[in-house]
Amino acid sequence: MAQFFLFDHPLIQHKISMLRDKNTSTKEFRELVQELSMLMAYEVTRDLPLKEVTIETPVATTSTAKVLEGKKIALVPILRAGLGMVDGMLSIVPNAKVGHIGLYRDPNTLKPVEYYCKLPEDIVEREVVVLDPMLATGGSSSAAIQFLKDRGIKNIKFVCLIAAPEGAERVMKDHPDVPVFCAAKDEKLNDHGYIIPGLGDAGDRLFGTN
Ligand code: PRP
Ligand code: URA
């Protein structure tokens, strides 16, 4: 059963609106993507396992103190725009390793084209969090997830900032075992596969290209 988590936290909604604004500068855009990723990391890591340890406080000893069990995580941003989400996530899970998958969407066919892949050696042992701010047709994210599954990775989550209904449906249909975390679900795609209202081209806005 596919799981879709939509964030309704006011801080997240406020920052998403600032991100959408065409007058937001590249510097502000980058900072907002980083802050949003950090806020979302809190919920994405909600199911991390804990173990009990013994700790001495200044007044007593407790054997029921809980600490993270140390589950290994790998972040996998989809290049380019996913890169903007890495630092925010790492501020919450600083020991995560980072792999990269390079995909771009062919502007004519809207199909993803792979051009780069470098993953941590022990990635199959890790919980993998795939990052891409935009889930439009779902072609790129679905292909990236399949690419990871083909390498034997079983435990995958997908985190995006803005999703079109078409993309969300596609990923959940192709990968019902992969929970999708999303800050905003928009109205539709336009004829060029851009999310409406969206925020434009995330990679261009993040890196100041056009
Ligand atoms: C954007 C975005 C996603 C993809 C979403 O990347 O970052 O990867 O489009 O579209 P889809 O859901 O229809 O596949 P783009 O191809 O523009 O590459 P870039 O990040 O290098 O700009
Ligand atoms: N990629 C983007 O960066 N923006 C969209 O709206 C769709 C795909």
Give the DSSP letter string of 162-205.
Answer: EE-HHHHHHHHHH-TTS-EEEEEE-SEE-TTS-EESS-S-HHHH
pTM higher than 0.75: yes
Nearest of 154, 151, 191, 186 to residue 167 by alpha carbon? 186
Q: Which amino acids are annotated catalytic? A: 105, 109, 201, 204
Please tell me if the CB atom of residue 99 comes closer than 6 angstroms to any atom of ligand 2: no
Whole-number Å distance, alpha carbon 53 to ligand 1 midpoint, is: 44
Please tell me if the CB atom of residue 148 comes closer than 6 angstroms to any atom of ligand 2: no
Q: What is the pLDDT of residue 193?
A: 95
Q: What is the pLDDT of residue 1?
A: 81
Domain count, the chain: 1
Ligand found nearest the CA of 203: 1
Q: What is the pLDDT of residue 69?
A: 92
CATH of the domain at 101: 3.40.50.2020
- Ligand 1 closest atom vs CA 105: 16
Whole-number Å distance, alpha carbon 51 to ligand 1 midpoint, is: 39
Ligand found nearest the CA of 169: 1
User: 180 and 162 in contact (C-beta within 8 Å)?
Assistant: no
Tens-place pLDDT, residues 37-75: 999 999 999 999 999 999 999 999 999 999 999 889 999
Ligand found nearest the CA of 106: 1
Cα separation, 98 vs 129, in Å, equals 9
Instruction: Label residue 138 exposed, middle or buried (CB < 10 Å: 0-12, 13-18, 19+).
Output: buried
Please tell me if the CB atom of residue 194 comes closer than 6 angstroms to any atom of ligand 2: yes
Range of the domain at 96: 4-207
Q: Give 10-residue mean pLDDT values along the chain (210 residues).
A: 94 98 98 98 95 98 95 95 98 96 90 94 97 97 96 97 98 98 98 97 96
Q: What is the pLDDT of residue 107?
A: 87
- Nearest-CA residue for atom 2 of ligand 2: 201
Please tell me if the CB atom of residue 201 comes closer than 6 angstroms to any atom of ligand 2: yes
Please tell me if the CB atom of residue 19 comes closer than 6 angstroms to any atom of ligand 2: no
Q: What is the pLDDT of residue 71?
A: 81
Please tell me if the CB atom of residue 167 comes closer than 6 angstroms to any atom of ligand 2: no
- Ligand 2 closest atom vs CA 193: 7
Q: What is the DSSP string of the chain?
A: ---EEE---HHHHHHHHHHH-TT--HHHHHHHHHHHHHHHHHHHTTT--EEEEEEE-SS-EEEEEEEE----EEEEEEETGGGGGHHHHHTTSTT-EE-EEEEEE-TTT--EEEEEEE--TTGGGSEEEEE-SEESSSHHHHHHHHHHHHTT---EEEEEEEE-HHHHHHHHHH-TTS-EEEEEE-SEE-TTS-EESS-S-HHHHHHT--
